[in-house]
Amino acid sequence: MLPVQDKKAFKSLLGRSPVMEAVIRTAQIAAATDVHILIEGETGTGKELLAQEIQASSARANDAFIIVNCAALPVELVESLLFGHEPGAFTGAHERKEGYVQRAHQGTLFLDEIGELPLSIQAKLLRFIEHGESQRLGSAEVEYVDVRIIAATNRNLMSMVDSGHFRKDLFYRLNIVPIQLPPLRQRKRDIAELAEHFLQQAAARTQSKPPELTPEALEMLKKYNWPGNIRELRNVCEHVTAMLPGQSIKSEHLPLDMTAVTAKPGSGTGFELPQEGINMESLEIDLIQQALAYANGNKSEAARLLGLSRDAFLYRLKKHNL
Binding partner of residue 60 among ligand ATP, Mg ion, none, CB cut-off 5 to 8 Å per kind: none
Among 4, 26, 28, 48, binds Mg ion (CB under 5 A): 48
d(CA 307, CA 66): 46
SS3 110: strand
With beta carbons less than 8 A apart as the criterion, state whether 248 and 214 touch: yes
Does 46 contact ligand ATP by CB under 6 A?
yes
Q: How far is the CB of 116 from ligand ATP (least distance, A)?
A: 12
With beta carbons less than 8 A apart as the criterion, state whether 14 and 190 touch: yes
Q: Which residues contact 84 (CB under 8 A, 6 or more apart)?
A: 96, 97, 98, 99, 101, 102, 134, 136, 137
Of 1-9, 13-21, 60-68, 211-219, which part binds ligand ATP (CB under 6 A)?
A: 13-21
C-alpha of 28 from chain center: 15
Q: How far is the CB of 242 from Mg ion (least distance, A)?
A: 24
Among 36, 47, 124, 148, binds ligand ATP (CB under 6 A): 47
Q: With b meaning 16 or more CB within 10 Å and e meaning fewer, what string describes 34-73?
A: eebbbbbbbebbbbbebbbbbbbbbebeebbbbbbebeeb
Which residues within the stretch 185-204 sit at the binding site for ligand ATP (CB under 6 A)? 194
Does 44 contact ligand ATP by CB under 6 A?
yes
d(CA 44, CA 17): 17
Binding partner of residue 153 among ligand ATP, Mg ion, none, CB cut-off 5 to 8 Å per kind: none
With beta carbons less than 8 A apart as the criterion, state whether 142 and 133 touch: yes
Does 232 contact Mg ion by CB under 5 A?
no
Of 41-49, 142-150, 206-214, 235-243, which part binds Mg ion (CB under 5 A)?
A: 41-49
Could you tell me whether strands 65-69 and 108-112 are parallel, antiparallel, or unpaired per DSSP bridges?
parallel
d(CA 21, CA 15): 8
Q: Give the Cβ contact number of residue 166 at 10 Å.
A: 23
d(CA 178, CA 170): 13
Write each residue from 120 to 139 as x if it is in contact with Mg ion (CB under 5 A), else as -, in one continuous string.
Answer: --------------------
Q: How far is the CB of 19 from ligand ATP (least distance, A)?
A: 11
How many residues bind ligand ATP (CB under 6 A)? The answer is: 16
Write each residue from 145 to 184 as x if it is in contact with ligand ATP (CB under 6 A), else as -, in one continuous string.
Answer: ---------x------------------------------
Q: Which is nearer to ligand ATP, 7 or 94 (CB)?
A: 7
Does 210 contact ligand ATP by CB under 6 A?
no
Does 43 contact ligand ATP by CB under 6 A?
yes
Which residues within the stretch 234-263 sit at the binding site for ligand ATP (CB under 6 A)? 234
Q: Which is nearer to ligand ATP, 102 or 108 (CB)?
A: 108
What residues line the site for ligand ATP (CB under 6 A)? 13-15, 41, 43-49, 154, 194, 230-231, 234
Residues in touch with Mg ion (CB under 5 A): 48
